[in-house]
């Protein structure tokens, strides 16, 4: 390479440094075979540019890995959520689904599909939907419960909504949602008692007259 004058060297260094500031590492500081001290600076800048470029690439790869990890985490959370709310056959003709967590449109449809499928499979007559673990009960969620009740009724199965807390009850009243045709209970125990009576199952209770 021809020897460079100091002005050209400085202009080149400024361009390279400006490019580095904008994450453009395509330019390199010019170095010739002279003993000009600016060569040492140019070599140092080139080394710095290589390190920065490597760091930026690594960061980009790390961000992609983080995005993939977040996606997998969301999928795992969804799977765990489904596993945490399984529909169970408590007794012949009685199904129970304890809902836990947040209800969105997709999960609501999944719940409805699962419930109807299980009712058809088991020929259940009573379906208990416990909502004590649901984080938010708004218009959408409450209306979905009614939708489930209507759908199960069409299949000859009665729904019981258990876990109605005072706060949830007040919310339903404030929202003006009509649940007169939906059997509700404050606890799962009350729901089970009702379900057992409806199916003719008698619990073997012991009187507390013993010591």
> Which residue, of 29, 51, 79, is where some domain finishes?
79
Per-residue pLDDT averaged across 171-198, rounded?
Answer: 80
Please give the model's pTM, rounded to 2 decimal places.
Answer: 0.56
52 and 139 both lie in a single domain: no
> Which residue, of 79, 107, 130, is where some domain finishes?
79
150 and 193 both lie in a single domain: yes
49 and 152 both lie in a single domain: no
User: What pLDDT score was predicted for residue 156?
Assistant: 93
Task: Return the percentage of the chain with pLDDT > 70, whole number.
Answer: 83
Task: Return the percentage of the chain with pLDDT > 90, whole number.
Answer: 10
Say whether 188 sits in a helix, a strand or coil: helix
90, two tokens? 């408590």
Helices (H) and strands (E) in the chain, counts: 6, 5
User: What pLDDT score was predicted for residue 208?
Assistant: 43
Could you tell me the CATH number of the domain that includes residue 155? Answer: 3.30.750.24
All residues at 6 or more sequence positions from 75 whose CB lies less than 8 Å from its CB, including other chains: none
Domain that holds residue 44: 6-79
104 and 34 both lie in a single domain: no
Q: Is residue 207 part of a domain?
A: no
105 and 187 both lie in a single domain: yes
- Model confidence pLDDT, tens digit, residues 87-126: 778 788 889 888 877 777 878 888 888 899 999 999 999 9
| Domains of the chain: total | 2
Question: Of the candidates 187, 99, 206, which has an alpha carbon nearest to the alpha carbon of residue 144?
Answer: 99
- Model confidence pLDDT, tens digit, residues 28-70: 888 877 877 777 888 888 888 888 777 777 667 777 777 877 7
More confident residue, 151 or 110: 151
Say whether 35 sits in a helix, a strand or coil: coil
For helices 37-84 and 6-21, the axis angle rounded to 10 degrees is 10
Q: Is residue 195 part of a domain?
A: yes
pLDDT, averaged across the chain? 78
Q: Is residue 206 part of a domain?
A: no
Distance CA 97, CA 114 (A): 10
Confidence of residue 151 (pLDDT cuts 50, 70, 90): very high
55 and 71 both lie in a single domain: yes
Length in residues, the chain: 211
> Which residue, of 79, 97, 122, is where some domain finishes?
79
Give buried/exposed letters for 26-48 (b at 16+ CB in 10 A, else e). Answer: eeebbbeeeebebbeebeebbee
């Amino acid at each position: 390479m021809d020897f460079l004058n100091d002005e050209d060297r400085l202009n080149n260094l400024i361009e390279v440094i400006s490019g580095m500031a904008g994450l453009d590492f395509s330019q390199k500081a010019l170095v010739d075979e002279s003993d000009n001290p600016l060569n040492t600076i140019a070599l140092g800048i080139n080394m710095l540019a290589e390190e920065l470029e490597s760091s930026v690439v690594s960061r980009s790869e790390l961000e992609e890995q983080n995005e993939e990890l977040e996606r997998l985490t969301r999928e795992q959370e969804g799977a765990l959520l489904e596993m945490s709310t399984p529909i169970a056959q408590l007794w012949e003709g009685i199904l129970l689904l304890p809902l836990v967590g947040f209800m969105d449109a997709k999960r609501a449809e999944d719940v409805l599909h699962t419930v109807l499928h299980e009712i058809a499979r088991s020929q259940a007559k009573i379906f208990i939907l416990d909502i004590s673990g649901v984080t938010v009960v708004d218009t959408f969620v409450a209306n979905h419960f009614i939708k489930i009740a209507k759908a199960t009724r069409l299949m000859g199965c009665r729904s019981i909504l258990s876990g109605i807390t005072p706060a949830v009850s007040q919310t339903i009243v404030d929202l003006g949602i009509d649940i007169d045709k939906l059997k509700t209970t404050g606890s799962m125990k009350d729901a089970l008692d009702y379900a057992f009576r409806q199916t003719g199952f008698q619990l073997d209770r012991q009187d507390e007259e013993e010591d």
